[in-house]
Structure 1
Amino acid sequence: MNLLHTLLAFMVALGTLVVVHELGHYWVARLCGVKVLRFSVGMGRVIWSRRFGRDQTEWALSILPLGGYVKMLDAREQDLGDMAPEDLKREFTRQSVWRRIAIVAAGPVANFLFAILLFAGLFMHGIPEPVPKLRAMAEQTAAYQAGLRGGETITAINGEAVHAWSEVRWQLMQNVLEKTPARFDVESVNRGPSGGKLLNTVTLSLDGVSSQDLEGDFMTRLGLSLARPPAILGKIMEGPAMQAGLQKGDLILDVNGATVRDGLALVELVRASPGKPLTLHGMRGQSEFRIAVTPDALTDNGQTIGRIKVEVPLAPAMVIVSDPPWTAIAKGAQKTWDTSVMTLKMIGKMIVGQVSWKNITGPITIADYAGQTAKVGLVSYLSFIAFISISLGVMNLLPIPVLDGGHLLYYSLEILTGRPVSERFGEIAQRAGLGILMTLMLVAAFNDIVRLMF
């Protein structure tokens, strides 16, 4: 069932993005007067088709689901000897270079516009996000050295307001790529007699994090993690906790004399103590208590962990971030632009060896992410589709022959030289481009298999 769910989520996402991309080519081709012969979702042999419209364009489904294409009237692919004069005027290569550029660029542009619309819709609907409130951090971390202690809420980074944890991560990724420190505006509770809130600005050094670390949990390395609820016990199940006399609502203050700062710290302590007696000190209402409990030893993924059979709330505080329509559209456009720039920066750093090629993913990993986000909910799934749409747009604009960007490179050379590139040059470039594309596909497939195995 999980496999079926993942495949369905992947096919819906991929099919939607292919249709959007090819509709971009189709609509602009029609606007430019070019005759469209076939609109296919999928590649290879056609398994279903119907013809519609004045031109009797064939709308088809093909056997290979990865991709699609728009087939136009093109002298390079068809014999036009018996073609009517009015149709010859609608042949692709007879169009001006600017029209050809518009038709080719329309596919990636459609992906970007689709991402903007998806993000705008999500921003208008409101996205539940963790509040960027910090958990206490270790003294040796960069966050502690910068003056943070935990409990602060990040309100802005480098002068840009942030409202959610994902925005903090995004801003820091850009700082890491640009190799610049991050300036945090933070807000904390004044624990003095006057109460209220304290505002402060700290500068976080990112020297200990490289662009290669972005594929992992680089924020934890910096000492930045989400604040968690206090260690208040929830439902008590049959097991060590119930036998020891622990009750729902108990607040755990320390374990074996070590302070428990939140629920996650309690879970970590218990998991690290299989079969070892623990003395829990806490509050039950207005009364203190000390209770000894020994966690059961259980095996989880080949590792022995401790468990006392009690629920501990760990969910961070959440906020709904929503915007009016025009603001949402502007934010959607900005998000699409920032993501595109980030993608190009990552590609550039891969080429020069500053970022691992392990970041290249193929259809298996994308399908896995599609299934995971679909399980989380519609908001996560639509966000995933928006990011993949941007990636599809960016990748298609790369100046690699066989991709849209390769054709745009040809037309740019035609503008500069005043004549089309030669057929011989085009053939050599196509072969080289196909080789590059196949290499990237093999790397992506290898990375996918490694992720599945390890």
Structure 2
Amino acid sequence: MQTVIAFIIIFGSLVFFHELGHFLFAKRAGIMVREFAIGMGPKIFGMTKGETLYTIRLLPLGGYVRMAGDDMDAVELQAGYRVGIILNENEEAVKIYLNQSVTHPNIVFLEVERADLEKDLFIEGYDEEERLVRYKVSRNAILVENGNELMIAPVDRQFNSKTVGQRAMAIFAGPLFNFILAFIVLAALGLMRGVPVAEPIIDDVMPNSPAAQAGMIPGDIVTSINGQPIDSWNELSGTVQQNPGEDLSFIVDRDGQNVVLMITPATVKDEAGEYGQIGILRPLEQNPIKAVVFGATQTWDYTVLIIELLGKLVTGQFSIDALSGPVGIYKATETVAQHGIFNLMNWAALLSINLGIMNLLPLPALDGGRLLFFGLEALRGKPVDRQKEGMVHFVGIVLLMVLMVVVTWNDIQRFFF
């Protein structure tokens, strides 16, 4: 149960921040946001506030921000439609009922002759006395069909009416907010737990570890390994990790005296390969400024690491079998959760960065794919045909679904068989 809660909180937070980026920059550009959804599939909770429907959906596998004009949601009133119109005190249509019987003291029925609900905002038609009448439509008018309400979207409130820059920023903001979330989590981690000290100082030695067996003690300062100067903890850990099973000569400063220790790093194996480990812990310090710097540098380091792994995947140095889907992420979360809240926070930040990078890949159906089309539009001076772009994204969605099935099947085989 603990793992389920941790998974829902982490994954929900990543999706929420991602969609919040889209939402805020869409609103900033004046785009109408019809729905802000967490999860996919059937709706289990919904609340309308202003012009946006906020929903939680059954499958915790993502989310979306539905923008006006971005999903072919426009409603056209064709000639011959019978509609019921409710007018406000300025004789503007504020609610339009489509093809249904409605009783209301101020309702007017029309057989539509002409209508424009995007640009000129009017309805023209014949009333019950066969007179041709014309009414202005409010910018916030509501269309009602079979009990479902939909606010009209004037053309200036639609996604595709905005500049390339505004549309690109509304899309880019999703991944951007994943990086911001990672920075916030890692900075908070630095404040709560402390920031790792840069110097190669030993804070603690694990019992029965190679370091303990060699006589290393807390407070030792490593100055060299195999004659090579060691000036930072990263140099210390890097040298140890790169030499599993190899005899290493450590020189440590112990109360002003140089002490020589021979240590053979234990060999540790995981999916990424094997590395050395001697069983020492790094000291931490409480410093708010350094915590903020730690959040930024760690976010950058994780970003570079993930990009490097992607490069290895593209060049064949990293097998697709090592990729994980929702099942693999759940199992990893279960393992991390057993090691405390700090490790869980670090894991959440890593996942957030990973989500941001994955969405920026220039692949159809992803944010990066859409940004690629915006780039082409900026170069050509005109947008790519929407039908062609839609077909490319559709193919991309199909391929991503196939990849998800393959990765999930690999996860199931790895963990349950």
Structure 1: 5+ residue runs without aligned partners? 138-148, 177-183, 228-316
* 2:313 equivalent in structure 1: 350
* One-letter identity of the residue aligned with 1:225: Q
Q: Is the 8 A contact 1:104 1:408 kept in 2?
A: yes
Residue in structure 2 matching 1:110, options 177, 180, 195:
177
Tell me how far apart the structure 2 counterparts of residues 440 and 158 of structure 1 sit (CA, whole Å): 47
Tell me how far apart the structure 1 counterparts of residues 404 and 240 of structure 2 sit (CA, whole Å): 30
Q: Taking structure 2 as the reference length, what is the TM-score of the superposition? A: 0.68
* 1:58 equivalent in structure 2: 53
Post-superposition offset of 1:442: 2.4
Give runs of aligned pairs for residues 121-270 of structure 1, distance below 5 A. 121-127=188-194, 131=203, 136=210, 151=216, 161-162=232-233, 168=237, 187-188=251-252, 196-197=257-258, 215-216=271-272, 218-219=274-275, 224-227=276-279
Q: Is the 8 A contact 1:131 1:319 kept in 2?
A: yes
Q: Compared with structure 1, are the counterparts of its residues 104 and 172 closer, same or farther at alpha carbon in structure 2 (3 Å cutoff)?
A: farther
Bigger proportion of residues as strand = 2
Residue in structure 2 matching 1:426, options 384, 389, 394:
389
Other structure's SS at 2:296 match: helix
* 2:132 equivalent in structure 1: none
Asked if 1:28 is matched to 2:25, the reply is: yes
Post-superposition offset of 1:363: 0.9
Asked if 1:367 is matched to 2:321, the reply is: no
Q: Is the 8 A contact 1:115 1:387 kept in 2?
A: yes
Residue-pair matches, total:
323
Post-superposition offset of 1:443: 3.0
Other structure's SS at 1:419 match: coil
Q: Compared with structure 1, are the counterparts of its residues 349 and 34 closer, same or farther at alpha carbon in structure 2 (3 Å cutoff)?
A: same
Tell me how far apart the structure 2 counterparts of residues 172 and 22 of structure 1 sit (CA, whole Å): 41
Tell me how far apart the structure 1 counterparts of residues 374 and 260 of structure 2 sit (CA, whole Å): 55
Post-superposition offset of 1:326: 2.8
Post-superposition offset of 1:445: 0.8
Other structure's SS at 2:338 match: helix
* 1:97 equivalent in structure 2: 164
Deviations 1:74-118 (A, max 9, x none): 154111542466532111100000001110000100000000011
Deviations 1:311-336 (A, max 9, x none): xxxxxx54552352332222211211
* One-letter identity of the residue aligned with 1:428: M
* 2:123 equivalent in structure 1: none
* 1:235 equivalent in structure 2: none
Other structure's SS at 1:400 match: coil
4+ runs deviating over 6 angstroms = 155-160
Q: Compared with structure 1, are the counterparts of its residues 377 and 427 closer, same or farther at alpha carbon in structure 2 (3 Å cutoff)?
A: same
Residue in structure 2 matching 1:386, options 341, 346, 349:
349
Other structure's SS at 1:376 match: coil
Asked if 1:69 is matched to 2:136, the reply is: no
* One-letter identity of the residue aligned with 2:278: L
Q: Is the 8 A contact 1:75 1:93 kept in 2?
A: yes
Q: Compared with structure 1, are the counterparts of its residues 318 and 346 closer, same or farther at alpha carbon in structure 2 (3 Å cutoff)?
A: closer
Deviations 1:1-42 (A, max 9, x none): xxx222222111111111111111111111111111111111
* One-letter identity of the residue aligned with 1:350: L
Q: Compared with structure 1, are the counterparts of its residues 45 and 386 closer, same or farther at alpha carbon in structure 2 (3 Å cutoff)?
A: same
Q: Taking structure 1 as the reference length, what is the TM-score of the superposition? A: 0.62
Q: Quick one: percent identity of the two aligned structures?
A: 30
Q: Is the 8 A contact 1:128 1:318 kept in 2?
A: no
